[in-house]
Amino acid sequence: MTQFVKFDDVEVGLEYPDTPVEFKVTEDVVNGYLGATFDASDAYKVHSTAADGKRPAPPTLAAVYMMEAMLMLKSPPGGVHAKQKFAFHKPACVGDTLLTKVRILDKYQKKGRNYVIMQTITTNQAGEPVTTGTITRIWGKEE
């Protein structure tokens, strides 16, 4: 049986996991994402003309590579992904290894529901910031 985290046990300031979740950006990942999102633009299909010659991944791939880290803090069933925003600092490119951690920014109650605000922090293999995200989740009901 999966152990769920109770709202009262969620600590503001908590960072998890201890070891960041690793995600490798590969040609297959980028091609699969483009196919799944029906993105037919040329912007992410070819290598960049930048000096490094790396192929950029779509910025919205962030919704994929941050997910495993987010799911490590398990809400009881019935939770809702209420709001999300990203800040993009550096493009993720094919060949990058991305590392994601999560920090609890706040928690509160509103209209009888429990809310948790989390921040995802993703860096590349060189330790450079790639994205930060803020996610608001309505915590599942504990019964």
E strand spans, 25-125: 80-88, 97-110, 113-123
Calculate mean pLDDT across residues 81-94.
93
On the question of pLDDT at 1 being above 50, the answer is: no
CATH number, domain with residue 20:
3.10.129.10
- What pLDDT score does 101 carry? 96
Q: What is the pLDDT of residues 23-65, one digit of tens each?
A: 999 999 998 988 898 888 777 776 655 557 788 899 989 989 9
- What pLDDT score does 25 carry? 95
1 located within any domain: no
> Rounded to two decimals, what is the model's pTM?
0.86
2 located within any domain: no
- Lowest mean per-residue pLDDT among 17-26, 67-76, 90-99: 67-76
31 located within any domain: yes
- CA dist 11 → 8, 18, 95, 131, 134 (Å): 8, 15, 35, 23, 16
